[in-house]
Copies of this chain bind each other. A is one copy, B any other.
Amino acid sequence: MKALLVIGDGMADRPLKELDGKTPLEVAEKPSIDRIAKDGICGILDPISPGVPPGSDTATLALLGYDALKSYRGRGALEALGSGVEILQGDVAFRCNFATVDENLTVLDRRAGRIETDEASKLAEALQNVRLGSGLTAEILFKNTVQHRGILRLRGQALSRMVSDSDPGKTGKPVLKVEPLENTAEAAQTAKIINELTTCFHKILKDHPVNRERSEKGLPPANIILFRGAGTLPEVKPLPSQYGIKAAVISAMPLIKGVCKVAGMKLMEVKGATGTYETDVTAKAKVAVEALKSNDLVLLHVKATDVASHDGNIQQKIKMIKKIDRMVNHIIKNVDLDETIIAITSDHTTSIATREHEGDPVPIAIQGSNVRIDDVKEFSERTCAKGGFCRIRGKDLMPIIMNLMGKTKKFGA
């Protein structure tokens, strides 16, 4: 028995006035997703716990069976891992943004006009081989990833992830001084390092030819690096050693890839998987079907339902749900459903109205030859609440799937 877990990022929503009190899932035509609900067992699922809005990282940790409240150690190391940066126990990593500030270090654009990756790469080159001031010791690695995004990795003996962000999170605010969040020498040194790097990188970037050229073109210069989400590796037991399975993931998002890598899953590359509205879901479906041949568990993640929610774009969200439905359709037609468990859910509710992750539960449906099929006929936040699972937690999902696959061990005699 194999299992496919389909996650529509932020796909669950709250009722919208614009949809006569319905949610995008309730409005979108999605016959293939509904078929999983109809032929399977449904329920609602709290990724972390009721009312707690999860990030995609903590939610994915939970959906892979981990207690995120205990194992989560910040975003940075996960995003770094998912971006191809090696992270070892003890390394502290940060998610970084190329951003635009004025002469008072007030943030004008948190993404430096969504600078192109090529330009960012040139700027990143100039940030290598930076030397820290006296008394500070850490090996420094800066890597730009896609567009304005980047990773900073600190490696050394006396580091801590317990430091605040320099990123103020909105424009019109000054770049923040990073503070230690606990009273340790490690946190104090890490905060000092980041503050020093902020100054040092700014000096290098503001006069860089790429930025001079951008200013001439009227584009916002990428003249500072904002740091956030300090993190170390979460403490989790990889799925292969826990259940004796092979697992793979298909996702365009470094953060999701990082979580899955920590969980011992193989990262599958898909040409055309972009994390945007344009993502090629058929390409993803094809790779998923292929991956199921050599893996026991495949996680198939689609980002853009969440993007639409953050954009407050109702029609795009409905369109993306339909795209996910076409993806599911391709899979249903190309796997042996008697031998394949298909689970579909969302990592969290993202409200189009608030444009934020929210703490409402998400719908879950699992089809498989041995599930207790209930009488839910459609996949949505409200229909699934009447399903045979009732209400479960995110961290319960993986044990349930593994048990249906015959991969769990009995507890007791």
Query: What residues of chain A have their CB less than 8 Å away from a CB belonging to chain B?
Result: 14-15, 21, 23, 44, 48-59, 68-69, 72, 75, 79, 95, 229, 255, 351, 353-354, 356-360, 370-374, 381-382, 385-393, 396, 398-403, 406, 408-413
Contact = CB atoms under 8 A, between A and B. Distances in A.
For the residues of A in contact with B, the DSSP-based class is loop
Contacts of A386: 386
A50 B95 CA distance: 35
A381 B374 CA distance: 10
Given A51-B403, A52-B403, A413-B229, A385 B390 contact: yes
A48 B411 contact: yes
Contact of A412 (B75, B387, B398): B75
Contacts of A48: 411
B411 A52 contact: yes
A348 to B, nearest CB: 9
Pairs of residues from A and B, 10 with the lowest C-beta to C-beta distance, nearest first: A55-B412, A51-B399, A58-B412, A359-B403, A75-B413, A390-B391, A50-B396, A51-B400, A55-B413, A51-B403
A373 B413 contact: no
A49 B396 contact: yes
A108 to B, nearest CB: 23
A353 B372 CA distance: 13
A359 B400 contact: yes
- Copies of this chain, whole number: 2
Contacts of A373: 15, 21
Contact of A370 (B15, B51, B408): B15
A347 to B, nearest CB: 10
Contacts of A21: 373
Contacts of A398: 51
A410 B52 CA distance: 7
A19 to B, nearest CB: 13
Given A382-B388, A403-B360, A413-B57, A372 B51 contact: no
A161 B52 CA distance: 34
A169 to B, nearest CB: 12
Given A51-B398, A57-B412, A360-B403, 5 more contacts: A49-B399, A50-B393, A51-B400, A54-B410, A382-B388
Contact of A56 (B44, B360, B381, B413): B413
Contacts of A58: 411-413
Contacts of A385: 372, 374, 387-390
A391 B44 CA distance: 11
A412 B56 contact: yes
Nearest to A387: B385
20 contacts: A14-B370, A15-B370, A50-B392, A51-B396, A51-B402, A53-B403, A53-B408, A56-B412, A56-B413, A68-B411, A72-B411, A72-B412, A229-B413, A359-B408, A360-B372, A372-B381, A374-B382, A385-B387, A389-B391, A391-B391
Nearest to A370: B14
A44 B390 contact: yes
Contacts of A255: 413
Contacts of A44: 390
A391 to B, nearest CB: 4
Among A59, A79, A387, A408, chain B packs the most CB atoms within 10 A around the CB of A408
A400 B58 CA distance: 18
A237 to B, nearest CB: 15
A408 B385 CA distance: 23
Nearest to A386: B386
Nearest to A391: B390
